């Protein structure tokens, strides 16, 4: 239809522009052509219309088919939707029921879980305690099998079951039995030289272990890390060793035991004697030791000197008085000269030689003789007093130098590690202790020697007065 309209429009335009004369002649031809063209256009339009109607019919048929298919699909979907809704309702009801059941189960699980966690926690704590008890027990070193499952339970790497609880009970019962057990058996130990040897081992419960090997008797120390028994580096006193040997051989019913489980024995090992502490005092110690040695030599020399010159003045004076009553003055001198090494005899001899003098002069002569004997008896005593005064001063000097070293270490390294400061503190304390000990000994020796010298001087003075009285009483025998 649109094509025919366009042809007519073109024709009208063409005819409108032609001259009237030519239009008249060609009018028919144009009309014929126009009709032909119109007819062709109508036919073409009719064909196109028929084709379009066919296409529209085919489209309507397809649309109707599609509509039916869609209606069927919609119906199916609606049916499926209704079924799904019913399923949803059923699932919702089931879900609600399951939620309620889940809440009940969660409540029961929470209650049961808290009880289980508490129970497991108690079991783990007990496993840790039992494991520590087993590891600290020196009897463990003699056991062939060790309960390793305890550390796994205590370390939370293993969940405990009823079998584990039964095993823990058995282990605890075994430890209780071992705690009251005293045994004597052959077992490997590490001796004082660091070698593993077989020895006769005495165990006294979980407290003390002793050994006997090649005539050596001593205590053992237990190392939980390696589960081994080590001989202490220092042997106990002989009295304790004899008691241990007697008990092991069945000759005694009493045995020493360390109830501190090795703490006292370790203190015994680390305890230092005086001679072991001296080198820790630094260089100031040696002058103090030299003073001590020199002081002891002086005390020994003075002691020997005074002992050799000690005499029984009373017995000598009784003999002199008996001879004086008989006017045997020469025999009196012989008696004194026989004891010429004794100061008392020399003083009496000096008085007898001056027996013809007046009393005052005789007393002066005897006093002179006494004064002559005093320097020999008092020799080195002042030196001994000086040494006794110097020793504590040197000890204080060592204390000062040790504290200087300690403060120097504190300045350089701080106070984080006390072991860095122990050297200076040890030097300070050892020198003070040694200086005071030397001073006490030397002062005691000086006091005893001074007392002995004073006694000798008093004896000489007493015998001198007695001699004067005897001489003047028997002056007639001159």
Q: What is the DSSP string of 105-161?
A: HHHHHHHHHHHHHHHHHHHHHHHHHHHHHHHH-GGGGG-S---THHHHHHTTSS---
Res 443 pLDDT > 90: yes
Q: What is the DSSP string of 227-289?
A: TEEEE-SSPPPHHHHHHHHHHHTTS-S-----TTTTHHHHHHHH---HHHHGGGG-TTHHHHH
The arithmetic mean of pLDDT across residues 432-453, rounded, is 90
Res 440 pLDDT > 90: yes
The residues, any chain, with a CB within 8 Å of residue 466's CB and separated by 6 or more, are 317, 321
Res 276 pLDDT > 70: no
CA dist 386 to 331, 407, 440, Å?
45, 32, 13
Res 46 pLDDT > 50: yes
The arithmetic mean of pLDDT across residues 275-304, rounded, is 83
pLDDT of residue 26: 63
pLDDT of residue 348: 79
Domain ranges of the chain: 2-120, 182-257, 285-477
Please state the φ and ψ torsions of residue 221, each to the nearest 5 degrees: -110, 140
The arithmetic mean of pLDDT across residues 154-161, rounded, is 78
Helix axes 418-473, 359-377, angle to 10 degrees: 160
pLDDT grade, residue 33 (50/70/90)?
confident
The percent helix, strand, coil of the chain (3-state, each to 5) is 75, 10, 20
356 touches 394 (CB < 8 A): no
Res 129 pLDDT > 80: yes
The residues, any chain, with a CB within 8 Å of residue 122's CB and separated by 6 or more, are none
Reading the block at residue 71, the tokens are 């209606």
pLDDT of residue 228: 80
pLDDT of residue 293: 92
Pick the range with the lowest mean pLDDT from 81-95, 142-156, 269-283, 311-325.
Answer: 269-283
243 touches 204 (CB < 8 A): no
pLDDT grade, residue 297 (50/70/90)?
very high
Rg (CA), the chain: 65
Pick the range with the lowest mean pLDDT from 163-172, 237-246, 278-287, 449-458.
Answer: 278-287
pLDDT grade, residue 423 (50/70/90)?
low
Res 378 pLDDT > 70: yes
pLDDT of residue 225: 73
The arithmetic mean of pLDDT across residues 81-86, rounded, is 89
Residue 449, SS3?
helix
pLDDT grade, residue 295 (50/70/90)?
very high
d(Cα 11, Cα 23) in Å, to the nearest integer?
12
Residue linked to tokens 């009709």: 35
Handedness of CA 341, 343, 344, 346 (dihedral sign): positive
CA dist 344 to 307, 359, 374, 458, Å?
13, 19, 11, 10
Res 460 pLDDT > 70: yes
Question: Residue-wise over 404-415: b if at least 16 C-beta within 10 A, else e?
Answer: ebbeebeeeeee
Q: What percent of the chain has pLDDT over 70?
A: 82
pLDDT tens-digit profile of 323-360? Answer: 777 777 777 777 777 777 788 888 877 777 777 777 78
pLDDT of residue 277: 64
pLDDT of residue 232: 78
d(Cα 435, Cα 213) in Å, to the nearest integer?
42
**253 vs 426, residue with greater confidence:** 253
Please state the φ and ψ torsions of residue 328, each to the nearest 5 degrees: -100, 70
Res 477 pLDDT > 60: no
Pick the range with the lowest mean pLDDT from 71-85, 234-248, 433-447.
Answer: 234-248
pLDDT tens-digit profile of 88-116? Answer: 999 988 999 898 888 888 888 888 878 88
Mean residue pLDDT across the chain: 78
**276 vs 373, residue with greater confidence:** 373
335 touches 323 (CB < 8 A): yes
Residue linked to tokens 């003083």: 347
Please state the φ and ψ torsions of residue 281, each to the nearest 5 degrees: -90, -5
pTM: 0.50
Pick the range with the lowest mean pLDDT from 188-197, 204-213, 224-233.
Answer: 224-233
364 touches 347 (CB < 8 A): no
CA dist 43 to 11, 35, 241, Å?
18, 12, 145
pLDDT of residue 447: 92
The arithmetic mean of pLDDT across residues 261-289, rounded, is 67
Q: Quick one: which of 109, 151, 112 has its CA closest to 130? A: 151
The arithmetic mean of pLDDT across residues 24-37, rounded, is 74
pLDDT grade, residue 439 (50/70/90)?
very high
- How many Cα atoms are found within 13 Å in the side-chain-facing hemisphere of 127? 25
pLDDT of residue 116: 80
Residue 379, SS3?
coil
The arithmetic mean of pLDDT across residues 190-199, rounded, is 84
């Amino acid at each position: 239809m649109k094509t025919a309209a366009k042809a007519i429009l073109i024709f009208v335009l063409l005819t409108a522009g032609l001259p009237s004369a030519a239009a008249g002649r060609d009018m028919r031809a144009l009309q014929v052509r126009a009709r032909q063209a119109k007819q062709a256009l109508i036919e073409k339009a009719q064909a196109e219309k028929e084709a379009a109607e066919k296409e529209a019919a085919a489209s309507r048929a397809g649309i109707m088919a599609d509509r039916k298919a869609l209606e069927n699909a919609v119906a199916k979907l609606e049916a499926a939707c209704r079924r799904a809704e019913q399923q949803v309702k059923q699932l919702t009801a089931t879900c609600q029921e399951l939620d309620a059941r889940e809440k009940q189960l969660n409540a029961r699980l929470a209650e049961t879980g808290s009880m289980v966690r508490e129970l497991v926690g108690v079991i783990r704590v007990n496993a840790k305690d039992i494991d520590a008890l087993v590891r600290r027990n020196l009897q463990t070193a003699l056991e062939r099998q060790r309960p390793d499952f305890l550390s796994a339970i205590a370390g939370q790497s293993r969940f405990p079951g009823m079998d584990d609880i039964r095993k823990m009970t058995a282990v605890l019962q075994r430890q209780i039995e071992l705690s009251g057990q005293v045994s004597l058996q052959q077992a490997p130990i590490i001796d004082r030289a660091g070698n593993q040897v077989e020895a006769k081992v005495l165990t006294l419960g979980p407290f003390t272990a002793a050994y006997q090997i090649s005539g050596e008797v001593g205590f053992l120390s237990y190392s939980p890390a390696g589960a081994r028994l080590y001989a202490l580096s220092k042997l106990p006193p002989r009295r304790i060793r004899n008691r241990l040997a007697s008990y092991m051989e069945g000759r005694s019913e009493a045995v020493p035991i360390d109830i501190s489980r090795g703490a006292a024995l370790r203190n015994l090992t680390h305890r230092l004697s005086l001679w072991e502490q001296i080198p820790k005092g630094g260089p100031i110690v040696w002058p103090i030791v030299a003073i001590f040695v020199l002081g002891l030599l002086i005390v020994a020399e003075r002691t020997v000197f005074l002992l050799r010159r000690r005499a029984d003045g009373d017995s000598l004076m009784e003999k002199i008085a008996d001879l004086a009553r008989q006017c045997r003055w020469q025999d009196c001198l012989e008696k004194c000269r026989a004891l010429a090494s004794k100061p008392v005899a020399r003083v009496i001899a000096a008085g007898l030689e001056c027996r013809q003098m007046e009393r005052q002069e005789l007393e002066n002569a005897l006093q002179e003789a006494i004064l002559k004997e005093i320097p020999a008896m008092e020799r080195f005593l002042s030196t001994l007093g000086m040494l006794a005064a110097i020793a504590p001063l040197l000890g204080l000097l060592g204390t000062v130098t040790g504290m200087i070293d300690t403060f120097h270490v504190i300045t350089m390294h701080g106070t984080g590690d006390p072991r860095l400061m122990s050297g200076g503190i040890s030097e300070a304390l050892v020198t003070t202790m040694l200086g005071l000990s030397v001073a006490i000994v030397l002062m005691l020796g000086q006091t005893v020697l001074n007392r002995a010298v004073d006694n000798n001087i008093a004896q000489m003075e007493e015998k001198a007065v007695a001699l004067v009285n005897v001489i003047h009483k028997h002056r007639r025998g001159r």
